[in-house]
Structure 1
Amino acid sequence: MNALIAKTRLRVSAAFAVAAGTVLALSAQAPAGAQEVDNGQRTGPVQFWATDLGDCKAEFTIENQTNVTTYTIDWRIDDEEGRDIGVGFPVWRTGTPNMSSKSELPSWPDGGAGENTPENRTMVSDRAPVSATYVQDLKNINAEWNPPLPNPEADTHKVDYRIVLGPPGNNGQTETGTPEWLGDRQWHTVTVTGCNPPVTGGGSLESLDFGSLASLFGA
C-alpha cells in the first residue's frame, strides 16, 4: 500500500513539473501582436520620453545635458495630420506655449552664454542633467495653441512625440550631416488611457434580490 501511494505521489509530482514547465515556456513567449514598450530616446546629451498618467493625461520629460534651451517636443494624437500654418512645413502640437528643454545658466541662446561660432563654441554638452517635465491633459487641451482632441469618445489615444527645433548641432554638424542629439527625429509613442472610463455605480435589475422583494409582499 505504501509503495502504491509513493508511486502515485511520484506521478503527480512529475505531472506538476511538466505543467509548470509548460507554463514557463508559454510565459516566455510574447503574446501575438504584442508591441514593445517605447521608452523614448534615452541616449545622448538630450533625452526625452513620455509616460501615461491615466485620467487622459501624459507626462513628457526632457533631460538636457547641454546649455541649449530650444530643444522642443512636438506631438500628435491618433496619427492626425500636421497643420499648414504657412511656414513651409507641417506643424503638429506644441505645449502651452512650448515643451522645451531647460538648462542652468549661462544657457543658449538667451541665458548669457553668448553667440555660438565655429571659433568660439558657447554651446556645450557636458553639463549636469537638467530636467523639464510637462503634463498634457488631452481632455483639456489649450485651444489657443492646439486643435481639439480627435476621437473624443475613445477611451485611449495614441500619442506620438519627438524633439524638434533646437540648433542643427551643438558643436556643428555630425560627419553624416545629420543634427546632433535629435536622432533622426523619429516619432516615439505612448498610449494615454482613462479618457472615457466606464460609468460605475447606480442600481440595475441584475442587482435586485427578487427573493427579498417577494418576502416583503408576503409571496
Structure 2
Amino acid sequence: MVASVRMTAALAVAAGSILALSAPAPAAPPDEGQRTGPVQFWAKDLGSCKAEFAIENRTNVTTYTIDWRIDDEVPDGRDIGVGFPIWRTGDPNMASKADSPTWPDEVPPNTPENRTMVSDRDPVTATYVQDLKNLNGWNPGLPNPEADTHTISYRMVLGPPGNNGQTPTETPEWIGDRQWHTVTVTGCNPTTPGGGSLEELFGS
C-alpha cells in the first residue's frame, strides 16, 4: 500500500513536470514606452507599414526629441558630437511641443534654486506618423524590405541641461536615460491567403 501511494505521488509529480515543460511561456507585456514623469513618449503600430510616435510634454521645453532605428540597423549609429551615437533623429524631427512661454534660448544655468524649466504645465501632445515605405529619401533606406513586419526601437535623446537642476557633473539628465523601447510595425509586405504576394497575383 505504501509503495503504491509513493508510486502514485511520483507519477503525479512527473506529470506535473511534463505539463510545466509543455505549457507555453507567458507572453511578454507590450512595451508601452515611457508613461510616467513630466515628459512621456510612446509609439504604436498603425498597420500598412506605418508607426505613430507621440510625445506628451508637461514642461516648457520643446527640444525633447525621439531617436529611432529599424530592425538591424548599422550598430554604431552616427556621431553628431553629443557624446553618444544616434540613428534616425531628425527624420522627421520628432520633437516635443509646449505651451508658451517656452524655454528661452539664452538662460542662466538651471539649478534647483533657480529653475528655468517648469514641469507642472497642462500636457501638450505632439504626434508623428512615419511610413516605413516612404522614408523621405533617408539613407539608409528600409532594412529587410521583403519582410511584412519591422521592429522599431525608439528612445528620447535630447533635452535641456539639467531637467531638474544641473547634475553634479554638469551633464543633462536625459529623459528615460536613453533606454530603448520597441514597437512592431505590420503590413509592410502583405501576402494573399494562398501565400503568394500581391505582385504575383496581379502581375508587376
Measured against the shorter chain, the TM-score band is 0.7 to 0.9
Provide TM-score, normalisation by structure 1. 0.68
Partner of 1:115: 107
- Runs of 4 or more off by more than 6 Å in structure 1? 175-178
The equivalences for 1:1-219 within 5 A come to 31-32=24-25, 34-80=27-73, 81-85=75-79, 87=81, 89-110=84-105, 115-117=107-109, 118=111, 120-144=114-138, 146-173=139-166, 179-180=172-173, 182-199=175-192
SS in 2 for 1:52: strand
Superposed displacement of residue 143, structure 1: 2.0
In structure 2, runs of 5+ residues without a counterpart are: 1-18, 195-204
Superposed displacement of residue 180, structure 1: 4.2
Q: Deviations over 1:159-215 (max 9, x none)?
A: 0000001123223146899854612211000000000011469xxxxxxxxxxxxxx
The 2-side partners of 1:93 and 1:103 are apart by 23
Contact 1:72 1:100 survives alignment (8 Å): yes
Contact 1:69 1:109 survives alignment (8 Å): no
Percent of paired sites with the same residue: 74
Contact 1:45 1:181 survives alignment (8 Å): no
Superposed displacement of residue 31, structure 1: 3.8
Contact 2:51 2:131 survives alignment (8 Å): yes
RMSD: 2.7
In structure 1, runs of 5+ residues without a counterpart are: 1-25, 202-219
**Number of corresponding residues:** 169
Provide TM-score, normalisation by structure 2. 0.72
Q: Deviations over 1:114-138 (max 9, x none)?
A: 6143364221111100000000100
Superposed displacement of residue 54, structure 1: 0.3
Superposed displacement of residue 85, structure 1: 4.5
Q: Deviations over 1:84-132 (max 9, x none)?
A: 346363220124441001001111145xxx6143364221111100000
